[in-house]
Amino acid sequence: MALNTRTNDRFTGTLPRTDAETASEAIPDDATLCVSGFGSVGYPKAVPLALAASGRDLELTIVSAGSAGDEIDTELVEADAIERRYSFVSRNAIRTAINEGDVAFSDRNVSSVGDEVQYGRLADPDVAVVEAVAVGEDWFVPSTSIGQTAAFVEAADRLIVEVNHAQPLELRDLHDVYRLGKPPEREPIPLTDPDERIGSPRIEFDPDKLEAVVESDRRDTPYSFRDPTAADRTIASNFVDFLREEVERSPVFDERITLQFGVGSLGNALMGELTELSSSDRDLVYYGEVVQDGLLDMLDDDLLSSASATSLALSEEGQQQLFDGIERYAEDMVLRPGDVSNSPALVDRFGVIAVNSAVEIDLYGNVNSTHVKGSRLINGIGGSGDFNRNAVLSICALPSTLSDGDISRIVPKTFHVDHTEHDVDIFVTEHGVADIRGCSPLERAELIIEQCADPSYRDDLREYLEAAAESSGHVPIDPKRAADW
């Protein structure tokens, strides 16, 4: 690799610049790679593509804090190059490989992945491959996400930095990189307000780790949001009606309403219904893990005071909207490492209202967020566990049915549980709201049937509950009948 000195805004100092193919050749066949990226943005593109095209017999372990794009989770999978994957996926190719047993997969909470790599030996990384908008001899500026990139870089033996010319240099104005100390001497995160900045735009590293600097010019794979359905809009209306009453009732929300939404089309629809809450005398703030298109619109309309996240999970139109007005957005938007954006202590400190969705829920309030029929993986738990378990109010919003009503998403018993009956307070569907706080298991079941289940399934659910209740026990279950669903 030839050493080159380049002095402009993206490159500073003497750097080991090379092409992606040459950089990829230095990666061992069985390497553990930690990659930047979260919400399918900010991930490396050129080096993974070079690995996929290399024709080598690769058995890679890939670690990311969130979902990555096709260059990693499609191209490398189709090249049969991935043996093990952590800790969130969303692409069809990697999902299929996991479900068929070709790739070993372990699902992890976003807030803990960095610590698990650094201290818990989840994986022992050989190389960190990261995307940046600028790089120096001992620092780089991340691109459209931060995730656990800083922790990965600290843990890895070597570092490859991709500088992406398709990402605007002004992204540096969004970043606030704060590193947590090492346990057991770790101090509290000194963040007292969601829009406060306590760190730096840069991620620093040991200069001896820098193996290669590669240039790329390839946009992130954009997020795809569908148009809101009639059910989405009704769910959003029910959600806002409930929230309006809740914020008036609870003194926690006297001055500020702090919200988190899971990424997706339903989350965007929910944001679109917040105009009335935004016009109250309370500040409306977002403290979550992803910035979606709906948040940009709320900032544009002065409905949102600030937005804090770790990733910019935007559609193609949303990406362009952000890049065209990035100086304006940087005044009210900040990106942080995932162990800060998803910190249980900060979720609690800021009184976050967490709003996430699910594949299905059962009558007793258990939530399946990740698997179809209890078995087939469709994504990962992501940050929903971080927020559901630590929010001042945890809400699960979902349509009551799938496949034009042929499948109920309210079931007697879910056979895969990501969030237990202790983690979620409120369920919202297009049919109503079930507030299960303080309810016994039977009371929870009755509320969920009457308020959330589709009317066409209520009689069957009531029949199941009556049959199960004939047995003794605190949580009545009829395993055979539940399996029939």
Cα 145 from Cα 357, distance rounded (Å): 22
CA-to-CA dists, residue 411 to 46, 342, 357, 472, angstroms = 44, 30, 15, 20
CA distances from 233 to 138, 213, 267 (A): 49, 47, 11
Phi, psi of 114 (to 5 degrees): -60, -50
8 A C-beta contact, residue 353 and residue 391:
yes
In order, the DSSP letters of 398-449 are --SEETTTTEESEES--SS-SB-TTT--EEEETTEEEE-TT--HHHHHHHHH
What are residue 157's DSSP bridge partners?
none
Is 289 annotated as catalytic? Answer: yes
Pairwise CA distance, residues 379 & 357, whole Å? 13
Tokens 């055979």 correspond to what residue? 480
For residue 220, the 8-state DSSP code is: P
254 exposed, middle or buried (CB, 10 Å; 0-12, 13-18, 19+)?
A: exposed
- CB-CB contact of 265 with 232 (8 Å): yes
Written as one letter, the residue type at 40 is: S
Looking at residue 272, what DSSP letter applies? T
Q: Which residue has the tokens 């952000």?
A: 322
Give which of 440, 447, 449, 257 is closest to 354, Cα–Cα. 257
Name residues whose C-beta falls within 8 Å of residue 371's C-beta, 6 or more positions apart in sequence. 359, 377, 378, 416
Pairing label, strands 367-368, 283-287: unpaired
Q: Which of 246, 289, 360, 430 is catalytic?
A: 289
Q: Which residues are catalytic?
A: 289
